[in-house]
Structure 1
Amino acid sequence: MSNKQQVKCDGRPNGCRNCERLQLECVAGDGSTMLAGSRTSSSPISLRKIRTYRSCQSCRLSKTKCNGDRPKCSRCSAKLIQCVYDGCAAPRWTRNLNKVEARSVEEEEDDEDEDDDDDDGKGGKEEVGSSPAGREEMATSAVPTVPTVPINPDDSHPSVRAASLKFTDEVHEKSPVLSDAASMSVAASSSLSGPNGQVASHPLAWNLRRVVEQYFTNLHPLRCFAFVHKPSFMRQLDKGLSSDDESALLHIICAHGAKFLVLTAGLGDSSAPLSLWKNAGNQWAKRAEYLMLANFGRISVQRLMTAILLHDFHFRLGEYGQALMISGLAVRMAQALKINTEYNADILCTQGDAAAPSVASRESRRRLMWACYVLDAWAGSGVDQLTLLRENDIKIQLPSNERNFGLRIPTVTETLGVGHVLQFLPPAVVPRRPAANMGIMAYYIRVVALWKRIVRYVNHLHAGPPPWQPDSAFAALDADMHLWRRELPDFVDYTTETIYARLDSNQLGALVLIHCTYHHNYLELYKLTMPDLFKLPKPFVFPPEHQGFLQRAQANCYYHAHQIADILAEAAEHGSRILSDSLLPFFVYDSSRVMLYYVARLLDPSRPDAEAKMRDGVKAVESNNRVLRMMSALFPIAQSL
């Protein structure tokens, strides 16, 4: 055993292997010495052939021997995938050994010639940048860093990352683009998680930024998810994460973005494995959930954002139990934060109060509250006993349009009631048309509020006048639906010009959703005309003298079901990512049921156009089936519908 280095000796004559591998002098028990490297070449090239200290992530996770070549190993070069290393070419302890060995050599030179030592002036000390590994470490340390937050050790479990690389190897043989996306997902994971199990906030790798951009492109515009102010969020990423709440929000954003990254890379191809999309981002979502629930008594805006996005993540995967529990947590957070009321009466932020929230923060809080309202409405299925939020308790205005939100322009909009503004606003600050400051999100919130009223009416059919009477709740709801459609501005209308304009601004998915929701509301309203189909507990009996009203309502129900099929068929031509809202599979299912029931049970075969209408209905149902097959890559529930 060497006295200097304390290397365990394996007892091999003429020098042990351990000393030979480390290129040290082997001191035998009798005091004799032998240069262990004399048996083989002691050059760095020879040492490299003996052992590779660092394997790339791809080789390590696939349990394949890596030759350690940089910047790309031979396996990654052959497979044309991204090659990522966790650290330097050699671990720190090898550099320490090199330093000690260098000092030993210099001490021997000092004994022989002290003048040469004075000329060198190094005193046996080696600088960090004197070796290739040291130069790499110096270059890494020169990059600005920010405080980090600890990450759950389970995130880097070998089985998790091995599964990711398994997907990479499977997909590579079928689609080079998918292979690149899968390998990028692994690289992005390493950029989020540092070598010591930490979340590196800055600088963000380019591939991680691509994941974040996928979220803002695909999920952010849907429903009321646009509560994150993108410019502020990206600036915070550059500046650095300062809390677990911000880290949790980043993780769930990346979890959603990872799925869309795989989807846009070509998962629509039937040859691609669905398991790749299903597992993309799951570990990031688990980390976000861990950070949120680890100290769930602490409430913040970022935690509420994380809860809402986690709810949608679970709902997309068909994990409805988890989604239901998180929905309750999100609503209670919103109530604790008191974001159901305006911060103060200074809506336009003209008072210059430094302690007050900024324009972007105020609008973000409003959008967050409305997101909770929509989440609570869908989670409770419109049933009063299951919902926790009431419209009368939300005393804030509707969200402004995306342009004003992005540019931090304070505006006055209407409230949930059409034509109404906040009562405490002075007339001088109210514009002539407050509705001009609203966008798709505001009109979507109103159509969801109408849906809640319709469901409440259908569940209590016998509480008021019969539906054919003008003063009935049915007539009032039908009039409100027509009013919503009439108040819809041109830029939210479903026309060819609007379709391509929204496609250019990544809002076509939101446009499709709002119009499908509108037509689905009519399916809910006309349920009372098809009691056998919808299994109503207390069906309404229509007398013979009102059969004309019944037949017109049934025909209208068929019309709106057909409209859903037409809208989704046209949207599918622009790619499956346009169909990425998790409610659309249920809309498609109800649309097909209504059309099949109408042509099979309600359509009068003696009508002149009966055969043509039947063919048209069957064709629309077949189109819905194709759309559901496209959605099966997005939602597991679509496979069973």
Structure 2
Amino acid sequence: MPSCLTCIARKVKCDAPDSLSDCGNCRRLGEECRRHNPVPMVVSRQESKQFTRAGTKRRRSQISCLDCRKHKRKCNGELPCARCIRMKRECEYDTSHGKEGTFHHSYSVQAPVLSSIQTSPSQTSHTSSSAAGYQSGSVNSPYFQSDTSTQDLDPLAMFAKQCPLFPEKELMKSLVQQFFARIAPCRLFGFLHEPTFMMKIDQGYGGRFDEFLLLAAICAAATKVNHEANKQMWESGVEWARYVLQQLILDLNRISVTKLMTLVVLHEHEYRIGNQSSCFLITGLCTRYTHILQLNVEYDNDILCQNSSLTASEKESRRRLMWCCYVMDSFASSGVTHLQLIQENKIEIQLPMSDEHFLFERAIVTDLTPDTIDHRAYLVRLMSIRNRILNYVKRFDKDRDLWDPQSEYHSLLSSLQEWCNIIPENWNLNHTTIYARKSQGLLSPLIELWIFFHLCYLDLYRVVVPGLSPAMRPEIDAVQIAAPTDFLQSSQEACFNHAVKLTRLLEASIQHEKDGPLDDPNIIIGAHEAIRALVSYAKVASSRINDDTKQLLAELVDISVHHLRLTQKRIPTAILGLRRTVSIIKNSGLAYLNYTNLESDSDSDSSQERPGLEEQLNPLSQFSVAARGLSERHGKGTSSARVGSECSSSQKSMFDDDNLLSPGRDMFPTSLEGWLTSNQFGDFI
């Protein structure tokens, strides 16, 4: 009687009594005892890993993953293997393909709430670098289920199968190009080296999983340039961004520069769709990334990259990323000290170099000469001045008299003038530079730079122009009583002039709207502040203005409102700025301003009644918008504003930023139990 196939394969004696009975060996091994092979001789790699030539399930793995081989542990050959899942490690296999060399196939695991993800394989030459040239980790969670249907796909196709509605390669490439053309020049988003990134896409974009997340985030942000142009693509971009954010949150334990880049791009996406709460929280996450990656210091002392392990473009990419996070943190904190997580005096890197040096990978030492820097460096310096201004207007009553030449008020005015003096001619604002930068695709950053400049002046003039500050503060009224008349009038006229110049910039952006100036959501704040400054000036200087000035005011207000209407078509969330702006016009009581048939925001004036930090900030700032969107709020009296009006002086000092965590001070003046049961600060219980 012939032996069964299992015993033949194992080269042992088969003890089956007859051809219809199972042998003892098969019963002991739990195998089906077969006398003929129903499965043909396997030839594929995948089948040979699972079955023997006898058709039985293979009990030994033909190949072990790199981690199991390194630690000399048994590997079951799965993708990923059981040990890597248990140890929460990246599972990577090394297989040879004839003369093609060695290829690394890495697999990662995901949480069960999402579809299974398989980290894309990449060539050895690419695994050591991220999209900007940095080594990065891959997603690794303990719930991966391998998908054998994606193993024969190229890396990009594998990722596209997992990311919902991810575009085809040609559309994806056009979105990346749109990102570099319309978003990267604005503010400090130019931290990606465009030639390297585009070359990688042309070569198939093989890389680790977090690099594909960066690619998806870039595509998502690129869809937020113009809502009216393609509403369906806009919604698809929202899905991509949501997927990327989920993957990043699931893998917070792995830190890399590539992930920080992805978070920064996601922040811009969320900002453009109006998710200010997400922006505020992502900003905090980005700042913590900069801390742990130590981007605030140079990678090494070899600035000229003569013996450095990083190239000039890689180092510059790190610098730009750090400065971008600094600007993001500045916008989120709005001059409030305890909201700002990046300390400016701890940043010890040079200013961003010009794009020409960055693109051609030249290592230089930047200074304030036009040959080494461009608009990004000037924007960083301007943001530093703006942080000082916003911090000052919240405590100006503790400074010297504003009209004193030695006051900080005059020092800030001098800093703004010095900034203006160092701007080179090719970044000054005139008709020549407008059309020159337009031909270079840099019209948006040019207009944005000068809008921020005039916004800094308007922020500083809050302390001398009544109605310009979002909060009605007694200190501002006190300045109107004590300050000399000529000082007040000259400050008010200067405020009006800067509001006029800012509005003319908005007019230029309307004229060249096809070239991108309306794409930046930050300009919405510019239009809002311009109208508030114009209306405040019209009210405080009503006895000095003539009919020609009134006509000019009406014209400028119409320009700002028209700008917001056009921006709303591209960025729908601009409706918030439009409604609040119209509310300012309607509530002004100025008959010569045309505000008929304009829809206002019914909640625009509620900030004066709502206690809390948000009343001190711009109503369109991230913190203010996020605070208004909270589904739950603390009870009465829990904010610092209400504490200041209803509590004793000793209780009020407890909420003072300078005293709250001072050495030797107890946060609770009595016992914790007594503080809670007394219920003296509101309905806590």
Partner of 2:389: 454
Provide the secondary structure at the position in 1 that maps to 2:339: coil
CA contact (8 A) 2:386 2:456 kept: yes
Matched, 1:399 2:334: no
Instruction: Map residues 382-397 of structure 1 onto 2, 5 A cutoff.
Output: 382-397=335-350
1:484 to 410, 419, 425: 419
Using a 3 Å threshold, how does the CA distance of structure 1 residues 525 and 196 change in structure 2: closer, same or farther? closer
Structure 1 residue 436 displacement after superposition: 2.7
Partner of 1:248: 213
TM-score in terms of structure 2 length? 0.59
Distance 1:481 1:317 in 2: 32
Partner of 1:38: none
Instruction: Map residues 252-331 of structure 1 onto 2, 5 A cutoff.
Output: 252-260=217-225, 267=228, 275-276=231-232, 278-331=234-287
Using a 3 Å threshold, how does the CA distance of structure 1 residues 195 and 469 change in structure 2: closer, same or farther? closer
Using a 3 Å threshold, how does the CA distance of structure 1 residues 491 and 146 change in structure 2: closer, same or farther? farther
How big is each residue's C-alpha offset from its partner over 1:442-466, in whole Å with a ceiling of 9 and x where there is no partner?
A: 0011111111000011001122211
Structure 1 residue 531 displacement after superposition: 3.2
How big is each residue's C-alpha offset from its partner over 1:613-637, in whole Å with a ceiling of 9 and x where there is no partner?
A: 1111110110111110111023333
Partner of 1:497: 432
Provide the secondary structure at the position in 2 that maps to 1:531: coil
Q: Which runs of 5 or more structure 2 residues have no equivalent in the other structure? A: 1-102, 116-153, 579-685
Instruction: Map residues 456-475 of structure 1 onto 2, 5 A cutoff.
Output: 456-475=391-410
Matched, 1:553 2:517: no
Distance 2:434 2:455 in 1: 20
2:500 to 548, 559, 562: 562
Distance 2:160 2:400 in 1: 68
CA contact (8 A) 1:572 1:627 kept: yes
CA contact (8 A) 2:271 2:279 kept: yes
Q: What is the one-letter code of the residue matched to 2:568?
A: S
Structure 1 residue 536 displacement after superposition: 4.2
Instruction: Map residues 225-240 of structure 1 onto 2, 5 A cutoff.
Output: 225-237=189-201, 238-240=203-205
Using a 3 Å threshold, how does the CA distance of structure 1 residues 343 and 545 change in structure 2: closer, same or farther? closer
Distance 1:448 1:595 in 2: 24
Identical aligned residues as a percent: 29
Matched, 1:357 2:310: yes
Q: What is the one-letter code of the residue matched to 1:511?
A: L
How big is each residue's C-alpha offset from its partner over 1:511-568, in whole Å with a ceiling of 9 and x where there is no partner?
A: 1110000000000000011233422433242446611111111111111111111011
Distance 1:149 1:255 in 2: 25
Structure 1 residue 203 displacement after superposition: 13
Distance 1:152 1:512 in 2: 45
Using a 3 Å threshold, how does the CA distance of structure 1 residues 544 and 324 change in structure 2: closer, same or farther? closer
Partner of 2:592: none
CA contact (8 A) 1:152 1:287 kept: no
Distance 1:573 1:631 in 2: 13
1:584 to 510, 518, 523: 523
1:541 to 467, 470, 479: 479
Provide the secondary structure at the position in 1 that maps to 2:224: helix
Using a 3 Å threshold, how does the CA distance of structure 1 residues 195 and 321 change in structure 2: closer, same or farther? closer
Provide the secondary structure at the position in 1 that maps to 2:404: coil
Provide the secondary structure at the position in 2 that maps to 1:236: helix
Instruction: Map residues 50-449 of structure 1 onto 2, 5 A cutoff.
Output: 197-198=161-162, 205-237=169-201, 238-260=203-225, 267=228, 275-276=231-232, 278-350=234-306, 352-353=307-308, 356-414=309-367, 433=369, 436-449=371-384
CA contact (8 A) 1:191 1:208 kept: no
Structure 1 residue 597 displacement after superposition: 2.4
CA contact (8 A) 2:217 2:244 kept: yes
User: Which range moves more in the overlay, 531-540 or 582-591?
Assistant: 531-540
Using a 3 Å threshold, how does the CA distance of structure 1 residues 451 and 257 change in structure 2: closer, same or farther? same
Using a 3 Å threshold, how does the CA distance of structure 1 residues 467 and 288 change in structure 2: closer, same or farther? same
Q: Which aligned segments of 4 or more residues in structure 1 are displaced greater than 3 angstroms?
A: 145-156, 190-196, 275-278, 542-545
Distance 2:274 2:224 in 1: 15
Distance 2:531 2:155 in 1: 45
CA contact (8 A) 1:382 1:456 kept: yes
Structure with greater helix share of residues = 1
CA contact (8 A) 2:454 2:499 kept: yes
Distance 1:474 1:196 in 2: 55
Instruction: Map residues 1-12 of structure 1 onto 2, 5 A cutoff.
Output: none
How big is each residue's C-alpha offset from its partner over 1:372-398, in whole Å with a ceiling of 9 and x where there is no partner?
A: 100000011121110001111000000
How big is each residue's C-alpha offset from its partner over 1:54-113, in whole Å with a ceiling of 9 and x where there is no partner?
A: xxxxxxxxxxxxxxxxxxxxxxxxxxxxxxxxxxxxxxxxxxxxxxxxxxxxxxxxxxxx
How big is each residue's C-alpha offset from its partner over 1:160-180, in whole Å with a ceiling of 9 and x where there is no partner?
A: xxxxxxxxxxxxxxxxxxxxx
How big is each residue's C-alpha offset from its partner over 1:551-587, in whole Å with a ceiling of 9 and x where there is no partner?
A: 1111111111111110111122112532222211111
Distance 2:160 2:493 in 1: 64
Q: Which runs of 5 or more structure 1 residues have no equivalent in the other structure? A: 1-144, 157-189, 420-432
Q: What is the one-letter code of the residue matched to 1:379?
A: A
CA contact (8 A) 1:632 1:638 kept: yes
Aligned positions, number: 431
User: Which range moves more in the overlay, 631-640 or 191-200?
Assistant: 191-200
Partner of 1:70: none
Structure 1 residue 206 displacement after superposition: 2.1
